[in-house]
């Protein structure tokens, strides 16, 4: 039986720009992939073995996943590790879900097309965090990501391995 993966799609910011390629890669590895807009899709989440999404509120849908399912969070650029782990990673573990994080690099963020590499968003993202929520909302939280499939593939395989434990 194929493991079920639900990819949360969104029309706002922090969307996965190469979502179709990620879905194709996951399908190639043996997942039965469903792509759905964030919203009222509890039944889809409950049927998914893996919930994959870029860091955003849609990941709260993990509360509808069955025990031992996998949450695969794509963490955007910009020193988002604390938020990623504490907002979604630890809660996933507390709900007896398996959790995988993928960290986007500078080449995978849409911020590279908006800011020079000397900008704080690249040179010192922590400094943006220290400036407060408004600074984050205007920069880091407005990015989209395009994952490098060669880098991302091992994380899909890790999701499969987690399901087989």
For position 37, what pLDDT does the model report? 78
Segment 113-118 shows an average pLDDT of: 96
Segment 79-92 shows an average pLDDT of: 96
Tens of pLDDT, residue by residue over 127-141, are: 999 999 999 999 999
12 has pLDDT over 80: no
For position 40, what pLDDT does the model report? 53
Tens of pLDDT, residue by residue over 38-63, are: 665 778 888 999 999 999 888 999 99
Determine the Cα angle at 10 with ends 50 and 85, to 5°.
Answer: 50
Delimit the domains of the chain by residue range: 4-109+144-164
pLDDT interval class at 153 (50, 70, 90): very high
For position 135, what pLDDT does the model report? 92
For position 9, what pLDDT does the model report? 84
4-109+144-164 is a CATH 3.40.50.920 domain: no
Helix (H) / strand (E) element for 103: namely strand 98-103
Residue 97 to residue 50: CA distance in whole angstroms: 10
The answer to whether 126 and 79 have CB atoms below 8 angstroms apart is yes
Residues whose CB falls within 8 Å of the CB of residue 85, separated by 6 or more in sequence, listed in order: 101
Percent of the chain with pLDDT over 90: 81
> Buried (b) or exposed (e) across 133-145, using 16+ Cβ within 10 A?
eebbeebbbebbb
């Amino acid at each position: 039986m194929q493991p079920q993966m639900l990819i949360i799609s969104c029309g706002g910011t922090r969307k996965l720009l190469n979502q179709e390629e990620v879905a194709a890669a996951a399908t190639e590895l043996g997942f039965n992939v469903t792509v759905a807009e964030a919203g009222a899709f509890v039944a889809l989440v409950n049927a998914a073995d893996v919930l994959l999404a870029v860091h955003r509120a849609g990941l709260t849908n993990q509360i509808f996943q069955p025990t031992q399912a996998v949450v695969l969070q794509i963490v955007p650029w910009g020193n988002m590790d604390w938020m990623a782990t504490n907002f979604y990673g630890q809660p996933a573990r507390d709900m007896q879900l398996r959790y995988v994080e993928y960290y986007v690099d500078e080449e995978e963020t849409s911020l590279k097309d908006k800011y020079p590499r000397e900008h704080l968003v690249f040179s010192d993202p922590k400094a943006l965090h220290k400036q407060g929520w408004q600074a984050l909302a205007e920069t880091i939280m407005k990015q989209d990501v395009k994952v490098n499939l060669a880098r991302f593939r091992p994380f899909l395989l890790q999701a499969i391995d987690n399901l087989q434990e």
